Chains A and B, each alone.
Chain A
Amino acid sequence: MSSKLELYLSGGRFDAAEGFPLDSLPALRAVGSLVESVARDLFFSENPERKRVPAGFKSSFSPALTRLVGGGSAVCDIAGWERVQPGLANYFDDAQSEAFSLFQSLQADQVTFPAWCSRRTKKQLAAVLGAVTNQETIRLSVEANGVAPDPVTLGATQRDKAKAAAQAVVAGQEEDFSIAGRIYAIENDPWAIGIKVREGGQRLRIAIAEHLRDRARDEFDADGTHLVLVQGKAERDDESGGMTFVLAQEIRKIDGPIIVERLEKLAGLSNGWVDDNEDSRPPSKALCRWVERQLWQAIEAQAWNRPHLFATVAGGIDAVWRFEQHTLRACFTSRPLEVRLRAINLTAKTATVSDSSRSLSPLIVWANDVLEGAL
């Protein structure tokens, strides 16, 4: 995937200088560090049993300023993910989208951070926001394969609010964790569970609070078919980003059909899968991987059930959650890479559509508002 982040800086020092003011360079460095930190969070979100990122994770990522247009305002293109090792590239590709979504979420009245967002990332975010002065405006856009959503512009008031929210969390010691998985082992004295993370085979041992032992036993006895959400407290190593799980305080069942196999099936559809018409095409594997990541983030952050998944004629994917009187559809498309929610109220016979986003996380507040707790 060919992609770049574009940073547009205006006002204050940028109005005063003929070219790019050198004392603004930390803002560019901070954006690179933010993307690296988000990629690290995504890695640990999918590999919670790991304490460190693989060798070369950081060193192969070399964000670079590839275009600078200065004078009155500055347009800076930041690129350089091409050198990232192939096995790790998807974390950095998605990190751009997620960093952009973080900026998008800062525009909301109430700032909420996605579940994967670590203290380190919040610290980097605060650094980016703090690198521009009150008189200046920062605008971020992300472009992949020549397609870009609307840029996000942050003025001084929004930045101050976001910085305060980020710094408040940075001050804490323990973090909440939320991991989906299947319980495959139970230990007693001390009580702990072994889980296979999400629908895969990665194993993790987590100590559990005593009041959870019956629930854990029930889910363990469910023949390994039940997916559960395990939530509790963890400590994160600020240096490596890896988590040490202190104690699970909640275990709840997650319903719905298996995600991974279903996405593989959808990716295996052939061209012309609808009515033999060649304009119908299957979702790409890259889209399926992105959708899978978005869904797990929503499930783990909100305890949503797993949705039913369908292909669309245009090569997208629809995730559908059905409730008695409501339906929520997340419509994922690849060009542009974005998601839009549709909430349908079957009683009122109305449909409401959200803005589009590069990530499902910022739309969760919208969904909860529109569906009035049906989720």
Chain B
Amino acid sequence: MPKPKPVEITDRSRLIHRVAADPGWVQGTEVSPEAFVPRPRDHGRLSASDKGCTADEAYEEWKNRFERSRANKTLSLTVGELNDLGLRVYDDSPDTSQHVHINFNGDEVNIEVLSEILARSCDVGP
């Protein structure tokens, strides 16, 4: 089945969740900026979960997709917080999936600075 064409999420109040591992990237309420750095295989598109799901739901879906994953924390931000940093969020999956991506591609993007701001601003759950 062809992948759906990415559609930008414009509702600034929507929560976007990243799933991360404690202790690797999380220490108490502090988060490593590396948790918000796209890896080479991401091609500048950082995976996250949305489609209106809660942090708990995002985590559950993650565990179902990656049974052996050690990730045990969610890092949540609003679309508005990302937009204010010049980052756009796209729904890029079928309705049955919560997968979205944060687009880090662009001339003005300073990943070093942005990843640090995101690490400072996200809410750590559960």
Contacts and interface: CB of A to CB of B under 8 A. Distances in A.
Interface stretch (B20-28, B89-97, B98-106): B20-28
A310 B23 CA distance: 7
A351 interface: yes
B113 A346 contact: yes
Interface stretch (A69-77, A79-87, A267-275): A267-275
12 contacts: A275-B69, A276-B68, A308-B28, A308-B30, A310-B27, A311-B24, A318-B34, A320-B33, A327-B116, A349-B113, A350-B110, A350-B113
A313 B34 contact: yes
B70 interface: yes
Nearest to B28: A257
A322 interface: yes
B24 A274 contact: yes
B27 A351 contact: no
Contact of A269 (B23, B110, B113): B23
Contacts, number: 72
Interface in B55-101: 66, 68-71
A327 B120 CA distance: 10
B112 interface: yes
Contacts of B70: 269-270, 272-273, 276
Contacts of B21: 269, 273-274
Contact of B23 (A265, A275, A276, A313): A265
Contacts of A312: 32, 34
B117 interface: yes
A192 B110 CA distance: 52
Given A272-B70, A276-B68, A351-B113, 15 more contacts: A262-B27, A266-B24, A269-B70, A272-B68, A308-B27, A309-B27, A310-B24, A310-B34, A311-B25, A313-B34, A318-B34, A320-B30, A327-B33, A327-B116, A329-B116
Nearest to A268: B23
Contacts of A313: 34, 39
B24 A269 contact: yes
Contacts of A344: 112-113, 116
B58 to A, nearest CB: 14
What range describes how many residues of A lie at the interface? 20 to 34
A318 B27 CA distance: 12
Interface residues of B, number: 22
Contacts of B120: 322, 327
Interface of A: 257, 262, 265-266, 269-270, 272-276, 308-313, 318, 320, 322, 327, 329, 342, 344, 346, 349-351
A273 B24 contact: yes
Contacts of A349: 110, 113
A346 B34 contact: no
A349 B110 CA distance: 8
A257 B34 contact: no
Nearest to A309: B27
Nearest to A266: B23
Contacts of A274: 21, 24-25, 71
Contacts of A309: 27
A266 B22 CA distance: 9
A262 B30 CA distance: 13
A120 B70 CA distance: 49
A218 to B, nearest CB: 25
Interface string B20-49: 010111011010111000010000000000
Contacts of B32: 310-312, 318, 320
Nearest to A282: B24
A362 to B, nearest CB: 22
B26 to A, nearest CB: 8
B27 A257 contact: yes
Contacts of B110: 349-351
Contacts of B69: 275-276
A148 to B, nearest CB: 26
